């Protein structure tokens, strides 16, 4: 198990502080509804719902909102209209992108996602056109204050994880998708509740982005996807050099 990786630059995601809270809660609520619809409202016996609820809590989603979403999902109605779709394609610079969507209107979502790709100079592909470049894994994230890198590494190793990436931003622990729930349970006993715990796409290889202009365009493209109300997750196989990220941040 490697102690370091560039996974933090591979998974592009924005924190709650970068999103309108209402939009973030709506997306979290959709996932909770679908999870409750598919596996029932019992958090203990429904692994997907348990992950969704934990993620919602880590993003400070109010308890009432969570309970309301579970009831909606278990009762059908709005949840019955939601459909899970995965879009794949190539973004600026040939970056492979996977977009996970939960929508009540397939045609609207397809048109919106295609337009975002097209505007950025990218192109949508068929299902499976880029997914083979990624592995489906479990991803558990802890804040930096959860512990020193070595302690987190040892805890992850003991729990059965496959990889750990620690930085000033926090600790990302990667495990087999099938082992996610078991590993998360062991880590929770050792480290407390995780910041997030979910299934994710991990690129097998990454494309370096060292030009500041290209990096800025790529991030704007990914942000546009992430800002779409139907989009739940965006994953791409890029690796922006740290010095470029520092310039963009500045």
Shared domain check, 91 and 145: yes
Shared domain check, 183 and 100: yes
Where residue 133 falls among pLDDT bands split at 50, 70, 90?
very high
Token pair 């050099």 is found at 241
Question: For 115, left (φ over 0), alpha (ψ -120 to 50), or beta?
Answer: alpha
Q: Which of 34, 55, 81 is the last residue of a domain?
A: 81
pLDDT higher than threshold 80 for residue 173: yes
Shared domain check, 50 and 164: no
Q: Rounded distance, CA 126 to CA 123, Å?
A: 10
Where residue 247 falls among pLDDT bands split at 50, 70, 90?
confident
Shared domain check, 172 and 95: yes
pLDDT (tens digit per residue) in 64-78: 999 999 999 988 777
pTM of structure: 0.82
- Please compute the mean of the pLDDT values over residues 45-54 and round it to a whole number: 86
Where residue 181 falls among pLDDT bands split at 50, 70, 90?
confident
Q: Which of 29, 47, 81 is the last residue of a domain?
A: 81
For position 34, which CATH number holds? 1.10.10.200
pLDDT of 95: 94
Give residue 206's domain range. Answer: 1-12+83-250
- Please compute the mean of the pLDDT values over residues 103-113 and round it to a whole number: 95
pLDDT (tens digit per residue) in 193-230: 888 888 899 999 999 988 889 999 999 999 999 999 99
Where residue 22 falls among pLDDT bands split at 50, 70, 90?
confident
221: exposed, middle or buried (C-beta count within 10 Å: 0-12, 13-18, 19+)?
A: buried
Shared domain check, 227 and 128: yes
């Amino acid at each position: 198990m490697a102690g370091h990786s560039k996974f933090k630059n591979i998974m592009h995601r924005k924190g709650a502080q970068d999103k309108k809270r209402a939009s973030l809660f709506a997306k979290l609520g959709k996932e909770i509804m679908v999870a409750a619809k598919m596996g029932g409202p019992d958090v203990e016996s429904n692994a997907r719902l348990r992950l969704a609820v934990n993620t919602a809590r880590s993003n400070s989603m109010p308890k009432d909102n969570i309970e309301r979403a579970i009831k909606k999902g278990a009762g059908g109605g709005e949840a019955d209209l939601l459909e899970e779709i995965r879009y794949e394609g190539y973004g600026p610079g040939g970056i492979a992108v996977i977009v996970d969507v939960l929508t009540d209107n397939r045609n609207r979502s397809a048109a919106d996602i295609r337009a975002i790709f097209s505007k950025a100079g990218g192109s949508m592909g068929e299902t499976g056109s880029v997914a083979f470049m990624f592995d489906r894994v479990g991803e558990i994230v802890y804040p930096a204050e959860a512990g020193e890198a070595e302690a987190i590494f040892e805890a992850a190793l003991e729990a059965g994880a496959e990889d750990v990436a620690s930085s000033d931003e926090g600790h990302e622990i990667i495990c087999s998708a099938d082992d996610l729930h078991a590993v998360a349970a062991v880590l929770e006993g050792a480290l407390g509740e995780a910041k997030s715990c979910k299934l994710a796409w991990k690129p097998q290889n990454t494309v370096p982005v060292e030009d500041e202009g290209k990096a800025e365009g790529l991030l704007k493209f990914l942000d546009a996807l992430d800002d779409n109300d139907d989009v739940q997750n965006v994953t791409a196989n890029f690796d922006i050099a740290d010095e470029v990220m520092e310039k963009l941040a500045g």
